[in-house]
Amino acid sequence: MTDIASNIISLKKEIPANVKLVAVSKTKTTDDILKAYNTGHRIFGENRVKELTEKGEFLPTDIEWHFVGHLQSNKVKHIAPLITMIQSVDTFRLLRIINKEASQVNKILDCLLQFHIAREETKFGFSMDEVKEMMGSEEFRLLDNIRLCGVMGMATFTDNHEQVREEFRCLYGYFNELKNKYFHDQSSFSEISMGMSGDYRIAIEERSTMIRIGSIIFGERM
């Protein structure tokens, strides 16, 4: 068995059955992706449009692709035919464009609202006020080609476990508030995407439903 295959198998044994695993394959080759695919894994994440469309062309069509990076609105059309979920929706404007491009290809795209939870300045994401304003608008209700499935966030890159835990708790709090206010009758609003190679154990303790793992499966990136 390859390292990649055994890495993904042991990771799946470790995590609870209700936590989904997104194998983040950015910078890795299609051969590497196939090694994971051949263990039965189907959910993969990429963070660049060009890389995703190039790889997607050569890989099995039953892969469920998740987009996890900052997405420029003019590039949504390139990934709309291929993608299952966009985890990194960080503005209302982007959500409207995703809706438009999804309708062009006759599909309903699953989306997560990315929240800014880290102390670092550079991470993209909504604030709670922005999301509430969006939810209250007439325009939001007209979006028929997107399905909001939950929230996503990245914790600060730090060894301080308590800080990371606080940030994950904050994201869980956002999820809960949105669920109660706007989505209580929608079972599809159920995902809390948090946890990467360095912090997924804490994320799972803080009720993550979806972890996004690159390095542990595919090895360090250059």
Ligand X SMILES: *Cc1c(COP(=O)(O)O)cnc(C)c1O
Asked if residue 197 binds ligand X (CB under 6 A), the reply is: yes
Residue span 140-179 as binding mask against ligand X, x where in contact by CB under 6 A, dash where not:
--------------x-------------------------
Q: Which two tokens stand for residue 92?
A: 């209302």
Asked if residue 215 binds ligand X (CB under 6 A), the reply is: yes
Q: Which of residues 68-87 bind ligand X (CB under 6 A)?
A: 68-69
User: What is the rounded distance in angstroms from the CA atom of residue 32 to the CA atom of residue 3?
Assistant: 10
Options 29-37, 103-111, 184-192, 210-218: segment touching ligand X (CB under 6 A): 210-218
Asked if residue 214 binds ligand X (CB under 6 A), the reply is: yes
Return the H-helix or E-strand segment holding 135.
Answer: helix 128-136
Alpha carbon 145 to its chain's center: 18
User: What is the rounded distance in angstroms from the CA atom of residue 219 to the CA atom of residue 90?
Assistant: 28
Yes or no: say if 200 and 219 are a contact pair by the CB < 8 Å rule: no
Find the largest Cα–Cα distance for the chain.
54
Residue span 44-63 as binding mask against ligand X, x where in contact by CB under 6 A, dash where not:
---x----------------
Which residues of the chain form contacts with ligand X (CB under 6 A)? 24, 26, 47, 68-69, 154, 196-198, 212-215
